[in-house]
Amino acid sequence: MRFSALGCAGLLLVSLGCSTLRIAPVRTSPFSTAPSAGASGNTAEPERFRDTLHLPAQLGTRAADDYVSALRLLEDREYERAAALFTRLADDPRTPDSLAAESLFYVGECAAAVGRLAHAQASYERLLRRSSLAPPLRERVLLRLGHVLCAQGQGARANELFAQLRQEFPQSRYLPLATCTAVQLPPPTRSGNAP
């Protein structure tokens, strides 16, 4: 069962039992792209954060192929398999820096999606320690780390990150999402378990 977040939330939280949360790494309106019909005629899922990585068509490296495969796994909600590929890319010294950074971001997204919030937090914090992090990626990392901290009950620390996001990126399209109220925890069920 899914619960949509308040207002313009960037997270969907799903209860998996009494205390496990899943954060699906999707964008919701107003930042989604217009749905398009796929080959099967189905409407596409909301566009994920892919707006900072540009892979040249001629890049044909194994890293680029693995990255595309990992994105497909992520879209298919095969989070553990996607995380394994993204982790390999992030940790491989042969992976180009921008691709390694994007991969590490998605390691955090996959971890958050399966309720491993501390692991997601560690991935985002590792990215913030990089000196050469691309500004659009830094913008997303500040937002997502804040969301993960909110989900862990660390609202004060999350609000510091949201303030940093507002200061560093005053025109960010993610500012409406930079609040703990954008993260709605699922209400408890009668039996204590999600249906």
Dump pLDDT digits (tens) for 66-123. 999 999 999 999 999 999 999 999 999 888 899 999 999 999 999 999 999 999 999 9
Q: Which residues pair with 21 in a beta bridge?
A: 15
Is 104 contained in some domain? yes
Domains held by the chain: number: 1
Is 76 contained in some domain? yes
Is 50 contained in some domain? no
Instruction: Show Cβ contacts of residue 47 under 8 Å, excluding neighbours closer than 6 positions.
Output: 27, 31, 32, 33
Looking up residue 117, the CATH number of its domain turns out to be 1.25.40.10
Is 46 contained in some domain? no
Kindly report the pTM of this predicted structure: 0.67
Rg of the chain on CA atoms, in Å:
17
pLDDT digits (tens, 9 = 90+) for 147-192: 999 999 999 999 999 999 999 999 999 999 999 998 865 555 454 4
Is 107 contained in some domain? yes
Is 37 contained in some domain? no
* Residue-range definition of the domain harbouring residue 64: 59-182
Q: Which of the 8 DSSP states describes residue 23?
A: E
Task: Tell me which long-range contacts 36-45 makes (C-beta under 8 A, separation of at least 24).
Answer: 45/75
Is 108 contained in some domain? yes
Is 171 contained in some domain? yes
Structure tokens at 88: 């390999």
